Amino acid sequence: MLKEAIYHRPKNEFAYAFDEKTVHIRLRTKKGDAETVFLIYGDPYGWEQGKWMTKREKMKKIGNDALFDYWFLAVTPPYRRLRYGFEIHSTKQKIFYGEKGFFDRVPDEDIANFFCFPFINGEDLFQAPEWVKNTVWYQIFPERFANGNKENDPPGTLPWASAEPASDNFFGGDLEGIIGKLDYLSDLGINGIYLTPIFKAASNHKYDTIDYFEIDPQFGDKKTFKRLVDECHRRGIRIMLDAVFNHCGFYFPPFQDVLKNGERSKYKDWFFIREFPVQTEPHPNYDTFAFTPFMPKLNTENKEVRKYLLEVGQYWVKEFDIDGWRLDVANEVSHQFWREFRKAVRRVKKDVYILGEIWHDAMPWLGGDQFDAVMNYPFSKGALQFFAEEKIDGKTFSEMIQQVLFSYPEYINHFAFNLLGSHDTARIQNIAGFHQGKVKLLFAFLLSFPGSPCIYYGDEIGLTGENDPGCRKCMEWDPRKQNLDLYRTVKKLIELRKTHPIMANDGAISFPELKEGTEQVIFHKENERELLVAAMNRSEKPVRLLLDIPFDQVEREYTDLWENKKEKIEESQFPADIGPFGFKFFLFQKK
């Protein structure tokens, strides 16, 4: 066996307390290397007559990515503490792996050779709002969703959808417009709204905040926003706001004071000014978001800045009862600030959802002391490359998605903010080459995958657009110009997700191994009562798949969820006929 590929480390995604009684243990080995893995474990103080008392239990191979296999076992230590190691078997070799390395036998005479999980402390458990697991989000770019009050239109507002979106044009979308469309969202099945920034700012996107305590006048006022929140809550819809604490806008009053007064400004330490006088051209001599002089970076280590921003976090929760914060450029702000932010907003409301914008491996932010989840862009990339762009085959896609899942503890995957597109990416219609079969497959995968899925406004009716600013078109409200067939598909998928919890987060997901070149993807979701088998065909040709079903564990009768009909298994193997760019969900009841 290739020892260099074998990996485990406690207190991260490889060993974590799942709840107050259970520890989840994972091990990584080279793909195809190990045939069987046993976990040897015991209480560190459990000795009898000079011998350490241990158990030996077989681990389950739960999946693989391109390079590695992953093994899993849930353990319930009687005293909430654990020492453990791994006995790994191949066809030719048996080795023991522990904290001190590799051994030819189990070195149980000294428990220092074993990994240590010292104690399951209740206050260290990952605690995220349970409601998020049952939420289907809808992201709204307020300026382009609906114009409900023309009196607050900014100067130069264009007639709705009369021009292509640009970085500097306005169409009058506002909060009143969103209120007027809540019944549309409820009918679709949406129960969570994520609003990009609504605070006072100069741009149409509002990521250049001027005042964090004020609604931008072009969107309305606080009274209107309070009505929006109340109307949403009355319909069972949660509201999440977007905040930019990494940087502010150029016209943020403290930064304007620095521009005016230079070193004499009392706000000079609110920012990272490298020298005075402050200059914006040819390059800013202060830290910014990227290199734009219009978004100066905030110094969140400054006590006054920290106090100001923490008050912002609490204010909108306390005064308006919002349900979540989406935090822009979250990875460039200090971990300590986010720890304090979590405590501050949770003091006001215990079940506020805290979501970070992080595009890469986010485990350092997901230890239970900062964020509940991050925007799952690795999920987006894999889904788009397979279903929309046909850049990878089903085998590669399956391995990519499993790598995403194994990057985090199981419970974090239940709260992951899964998306296909956003205000920062091209529309899925454009990426899929306007192929409606591919777009439907994307939604089928999104809405049957663990996590908390999000739909970017208009994607459900076929809105198009390239990268920013093209992806920020005005919402199309004329039914004659909407893709109503796509809308009905998305609505039905959401309904299935809500009707059958196993379509959402009530089940452990696994992917059977596929052959190279396949244009299909298959996954299973399983709980104590049910088995869901999903099969998706990216090919323009129909296909018959022979699915592996544990016939000794499930009833012969199953339900085709998409067709809403019951069938019986008659053969020793389960043949599934999937049409071109089609998908199926088969639900089996366990014996």
Q: Could you please report the per-residue DSSP string of 460-517? A: GGT----STTGGGPPPP--GGGS-HHHHHHHHHHHHHHHH-GGGTTSSEEE-----TT
Give CA torsion, residues 373, 378, 383, 388, to 10 deg: 130
Euclidean distance between CA atoms 506 and 133, whole angstroms: 9
Q: How far apart are alpha carbons 342 and 339 in whole angstroms?
A: 5
Report residue 32 as tokens: 């195809």
Q: Are residues 207 and 197 in contact, defined by beta-carbon separation less than 8 angstroms?
A: yes
C-alpha to C-alpha distance for 36 and 71, rounded to whole angstroms: 9
Query: For residue 363, what are its two tokens?
Result: 């485990």
Active-site residue among 357, 410, 460, 526?
357
Residue 166's nearest CA partner among 482, 466, 477, 481 is 466
State how far the Cα of 317 lies from the Cα of 589, in Å rounded to an integer: 42
Tokens for 302, please give them: 């400054």
Coil, strand or helix at 349: coil
Q: Are strands 574-578 and 51-52 parallel, antiparallel or unpaired?
A: unpaired
Whether 357 sits among the annotated catalytic residues: the reply is yes
- 226, 239 contact by CB (below 8 A): no
Which is catalytic among the residues 87, 328, 460, 530? 328
Q: Is 460 a catalytic residue?
A: no
Angle at 124 between CA 120 and CA 129, to 5 degrees: 120
Strands (E), 221-329: 238-243, 324-327
* Catalytic sites, residue numbers: 328, 357
